[in-house]
Amino acid sequence: MERHHIVFLERDSIRGEFRRPDFPHTYDEYPLSTPDEVTARVGGAGIIITNKAVLRGELLSTLPRLKMIAIAATGTDNVDLEWCRANGIVASNIRGYAVHTVPEHVLTLALALRRNVPAYGRDVRGGKWQRAPMFCFFDHPIRDLHGGTMGIAGRGSLGQGVARLAEAFGMRVLWAEHKGAAEVRPGYTAFDTVLREADVLSLHCPLNDRTRGLIGEAELRAMKPEAVLINTARGGLVDEPALARALQEGWIAGAGFDVLSKEPPREGNVLLEPDLPNFILTPHVAWASAKAMQALLDQLTANIEAFARGEPRNRVA
């Protein structure tokens, strides 16, 4: 069996025990790798492990020993898959590891927003309850999930996990057809109809040329004023300035995001403004329960070992 040199570019991006592959290899790992550091670190690599480090064809074409890219995530937009396919490089991703943790995060955000938890929490900290004339106050509408409609864009394992939880809460689930599709597949609902009918719209799409900007001003205006938008997928799916305006002007009732178009947002982001009403932002951690991260690392090792046996799995290239 060929002796591969494995380079793990972002070991600290995933917590848990990484079992080294069970075949002869050499190994380097780095806590994190900046864009400037990636080039020097992958020079002799036969297998590169990347989570979010960007690997484009310009760099990959300079790596004569490269055989595989093991993506330590489900999303693949940071890897030049077209170049990999054209040049016979195997690329595999991680699947199904977050089928419980991401849906739970989605429902957490949806519950908090539908019940206006951020607004009530802010009011209590500001002393409003302490000054209230009776035992409670009703300044913000409280809406149940039960009896509402969950619209889901993306019918992979995460979308299906959200559907299971939504149905357990007594919600009707609508699966959104591709935006602009000429025909609606059995079991799906036209994208525009989902926008109009959803009380909660949850995004679970990959980020690519077809889905970038999936939700913009027109889509936000088409949603119910009492609806909330949840995005735990990729920041680029939503026009962020349009969302900020939608929240400020009340086009929709709230939004819960775990992702931004650029992460971390070192140069700021319109969704970080302090005056956005009923908006919750978490730092891309919906996937990151301890159990899910260990499952990811176990699958990562399995993907690399399968490649070394000549039986690559979870291929995206």
Question: Is there a catalytic annotation at residue 85?
Answer: no
Catalytic: which of 4, 11, 105, 234? Answer: 234
d(CA 53, CA 236): 17
Q: Catalytic residue, from 85, 284, 313, 315: name it.
A: 284
- The residues, ordered by sequence, that sit 6+ positions from 212 with a Cβ below 8 Å of its Cβ are 236, 237
**Element holding 228 (H helix, E strand):** strand 228-231
- Amino acid identity, residue 14? I
- Beta-bridged to residue 202, according to DSSP, are 152, 230
Provide the total of helices (H) and of strands (E) in the chain, helices listed first.
11, 11
29 included as an active-site residue: no
- Extract the tokens encoding 51: 């989570």
Catalytic residue (choose from 2, 58, 82, 263) = 263
Give start and end residues of each alpha helix (H) in the chain.
35-41, 57-60, 81-86, 101-114, 117-125, 128-131, 157-168, 191-197, 217-222, 240-249, 290-308
Are 165 and 99 in contact by the 8 Å Cβ rule? The answer is no
Any idea which residue has 């055989």 for tokens?
A: 67
Q: Which residues are catalytic?
A: 234, 263, 284
